[in-house]
Amino acid sequence: MRGPEASAGVRIGTPASVMTDPREQFALALALTAAPKHVRTVSATVKRFLWSKGILQPTDLTAARIQEYLARLLATGRSQKTVANYRSAISTFCDFLRDHGDLTVNPCAAVRLRRPEERLPRYLSEVEVVEALRLAGHHGIWPEVALALATGLRLSEMIRLQWADVDPVRRVLAIRKAKSRRPRIVPLCRQALAALEAQQVVSGTFSYVFPARQTWPGGWRYVDTPRTSNWWRRVLQPLQDALPVFRQGMAPTATGRGWHLFRHTFASRAAQRGVSLYKLAAWLGHSDVRTTQIYAHLQGGYDPDIERA
């Protein structure tokens, strides 16, 4: 294996250290070009793969092992899109080893995956929206659910949202760190403003709109840090249990659809009410309007041209 190399002032360790801890060495290589979140995600994905297959040397990386690993993920309920993302992460790692002379070819080139089926997005009906808001109020998470339904924010964006990003006068909020790496402005409807007003009573003195809770035997208090993703998943379980649409069509071993269903619901309702897909793409933070096209079918209705056709 080749010795340490340096690039742009960042020391890249030997491939041996890459294999044992991608987060320390491989992540440094990715950090030169990738967003921090992408670095963490790819490194964690690669590390799970290496550990599960017992891979210690670059020569152990074969197309057969990668194919077997991805097939097992599909069998345990992971979506085709998720498995494709895993393949992409492993391929990035193999490219890194190839560029450093430890692989002659990228074995992922020989891995074949089925093309992900294009499915219509699932979303809450009007009756289910009312029930979701009622349950949210009962379980003390009405501001969180109401804001998600009224803005289509991703969970990561909800977690990082700060009061400095909210402008109630202009009726907008700013998303500064998004999946697309593009900041955007999201308009606030009456329900979104009501949700933020209710939450301001609770956390208006903190930086974060939804601050974390520090607990100890017999009590708890808010602290000015973001709530963990585990908290968000846990508090949503009563709604998932009450509304079958959350887990409808999911494999028994799958974790189920969570907060992202509210995002789909927001986008679906907007499309049904005739909002332009280009405007909707800007609200959702899609870098390509083709991603928003999955909601196009909801804009359809009777067209008199069908009589001439």
- Average pLDDT, integer, range 57-85: 85
Topology at the third CATH level for domain 5-110: DNA polymerase; domain 1 (1.10.150)
What CA–CA distances, in Å, run from 191 to 107, 142, 166, 281? 51, 11, 14, 20
User: Could you give the percent of the chain with pLDDT greater than 90?
Assistant: 46
Identical fold, 5-110 and 126-299: no
Per CATH, the homologous superfamily of domain 126-299 is Intergrase catalytic core (1.10.443.10)
Q: Are 21 and 13 in contact (CB under 8 A)?
A: no
pLDDT, tens digit (0-9, with 9 covering 90-100), for 140-150: 999 999 999 99
Using a cut of 0.85, tell me whether the model's pTM lies above it.
no
pLDDT at position 8 over 70: no
- 168-180: pLDDT as tens digits: 999 999 999 877 6
Domain ranges of the chain: 5-110, 126-299
In this structure, the dihedral spanned by the alpha carbons of residues 82, 88, 90 and 95, taken in order and rounded to 10 degrees, is 180
Binning pLDDT at 50, 70 and 90, where does residue 13 land?
very low
| Residue with more model confidence, 174 or 296 | 174
> What's the pLDDT score for residue 29?
52
User: Contact 146/189 with Cβ under 8 angstroms?
Assistant: no
| C-alpha distances out from residue 203 to 160, 161, 188, Å | 14, 12, 19
